[in-house]
Structure 1
């Protein structure tokens, strides 16, 4: 597989995505109880965004997802900011992720730079520009239902400028994430093909159940449609319950040979109507389930809502410790 993700996977597999941004911002005193959610930190405390990204790199993540899931130009304009101010804040989100990566790499003490056991300079580290669904802009929980409808042109108009700012600011690829609506997925693919052909993206769905997007589209059919798109470099699911992931991987693998990405919630159950959570009833964790997901075909793993650097650190220990799959010379081996 070619492209940025393919090169990274040739160097290390599985790749690890970071975890929740809002959960960590709240610990740092940032109020996320608003229509902008975690994007409010770009206005009030961008250093906190930097610190969260850095904490995930320290925990072992390969990929930082920018704090732009809810950061779109119409959303910023809705609270009274200008177009220029909105673009600047999206750029800030990328700058903080890139700076955190650079700071992490440069923090290796000089003697350790020659120590091959310290992987800060050799481990692939990417910045993915988060492109959340139109439902996130609505801020009514519809990213979990797909219950909205725009024309293809309207979807493109909504996403285009954020994607342009992300690309210009220097993200390595796009993260089309928590996508519940197949019409929106198709519009994003069209936009990628027609106007961002020099970029690649992963597409990550939000699910109703292990076999269907939130809008009812069959997961294998949605995957098959993306399998033919050169710019889509990985396909998967995120912001879903842990118990859906294994079957979803099987469904995706039946329709594509592309890398599969999964980054579910921590097992707590979200209630969109009240914006509250019920604690994880299963007691299972990302680290406990990761070996099953890797065996099923996933090669990019991480966490979404309510996951923490501690979760990613445990995931890294399982995925990159003794007796786990690693890449050596482009071949998958056991080490």
Structure 2
């Protein structure tokens, strides 16, 4: 089997945690419950955005993700009263604030650390609807792929124009939307991205398609530009079976995998809140198993903090040390 993708063996990199969760430590008003979620703070609390990124960088994140998951041109026009151009500029501002955080971090490190990367968050169409349909992907049954691509286009263009190192296409619930974005990437030939699905169990993505088939389809559609495919904002216990299914039978050339689940809590759409937090195992307890299955981008999503990221990084280092001690080639270094 020949290798068609960006890399058959990628270096392990630690991704940051739940931006909105961490942001709540830097603002005095609720972050959740707004149609724009954390993206509205780009306009009102830019320094809090920078400080949130810095929290994750200081915790050991190699990649920070912009808070544009719920940002869109039409959303900023509707809820912030901005013009189309102003909305695009605000999306670009998210990258500029992340760059400011990286510059500050590198200055603190006296240039001795590897420069962290900035991933522009590209959340699903359903997140803009503010009806929790990003948890089901039902909109994919009534919105065409062309419509989905054209909705995603201006945000992706703005993030790349502002200098994002890659795009984090994340929490995608439906195969059709993921494939539309994988195809759209070709219009930005210099861009690199990962695509991460939301999943409802250890086999299927939120809309119901089998994860291994949806993820492989995206990879095969655009292996040159995709850095990885995988999962995010799902229960940690689902990650291992999903990842194992993706690379089953691909020992000669495994697909690089990204995984950054939430804390394991349940989101109650009736309450609009996370529940059952007392029943969750810490995310870091799963990390070494994921790395052994080929995950090379690993972090946390909703309800995970800078402390979780610090513990995830520690587990990555332990895993790598164990591989080195036994003479087994590791995926790389964090």
- What TM-score comes out, normalization by structure 2 length? 0.89
Which of residues 88, 93, 114 is equivalent to 1:123? 114
Note the C-alpha offset of 1:2: 9.9
1:94 and 2:86 are equivalent in the alignment: no
The corresponding residue for 2:35 is 35
> What is the rounded CA distance, in whole Å, between the counterparts of 1:122 and 1:50 in structure 2?
19
In structure 2, the residue corresponding to 1:85 is in which secondary structure?
A: helix
In structure 2, the residue corresponding to 1:217 is in which secondary structure?
A: coil
1:177 and 2:170 are equivalent in the alignment: yes
> What is the rounded CA distance, in whole Å, between the counterparts of 2:35 and 2:112 in structure 1?
38
Q: Is the 8 A contact 1:324 1:334 kept in 2?
A: no
Note the C-alpha offset of 1:64: 0.4
The CA deviation string for residues 121-169 of structure 1, in whole angstroms up to 9 with x for no partner, is 3435110010000000011111110010311221111011111110100
Q: Is the 8 A contact 1:42 1:92 kept in 2?
A: yes
Q: 1:180 to 1:63 in 2, by over 3 A?
A: same
> What is the rounded CA distance, in whole Å, between the counterparts of 1:184 and 1:333 in structure 2?
30
The corresponding residue for 2:44 is 44
Which of residues 120, 134, 137 is equivalent to 1:143? 134
The corresponding residue for 1:240 is 234
In structure 2, the residue corresponding to 1:61 is in which secondary structure?
A: coil
State the superposition RMSD in angstroms. Answer: 2.4
The CA deviation string for residues 178-232 of structure 1, in whole angstroms up to 9 with x for no partner, is 0001111111111112x11111110000112111111111111112212322211
Larger relative contact order, structure 1 or 2 (CA cutoff 8 Å, min sep 6) = 2
Which of residues 23, 35, 52 is equivalent to 1:25? 23
Runs of 4+ in 1 over 4 A off after TM superposition: none
Q: Is the 8 A contact 1:323 1:334 kept in 2?
A: no
Q: 1:312 to 1:224 in 2, by over 3 A?
A: same
Note the C-alpha offset of 1:254: 2.2
Which of residues 189, 201, 205 is equivalent to 1:213? 205
Question: How many residue pairs align between the two structures?
Answer: 317
> What is the rounded CA distance, in whole Å, between the counterparts of 1:74 and 1:239 in structure 2?
24
Note the C-alpha offset of 1:325: 4.8
Q: Is the 8 A contact 2:70 2:123 kept in 1?
A: yes
Q: 1:333 to 1:39 in 2, by over 3 A?
A: closer
Note the C-alpha offset of 1:92: 1.1
Q: Is the 8 A contact 2:265 2:280 kept in 1?
A: no
> What is the rounded CA distance, in whole Å, between the counterparts of 2:136 and 2:248 in structure 1?
24
Query: Is 54-63 or 19-28 further displaced after alignment?
Result: 19-28
The corresponding residue for 1:165 is 158
Q: Is the 8 A contact 2:178 2:218 kept in 1?
A: no
Q: How does 1:296-335 map to 2 (within 5 A)?
A: 296-321=293-318, 323-325=321-323, 332=330
Q: 1:66 to 1:6 in 2, by over 3 A?
A: farther
Q: Is the 8 A contact 2:106 2:113 kept in 1?
A: no
Q: 1:140 to 1:234 in 2, by over 3 A?
A: same
Note the C-alpha offset of 1:334: 10
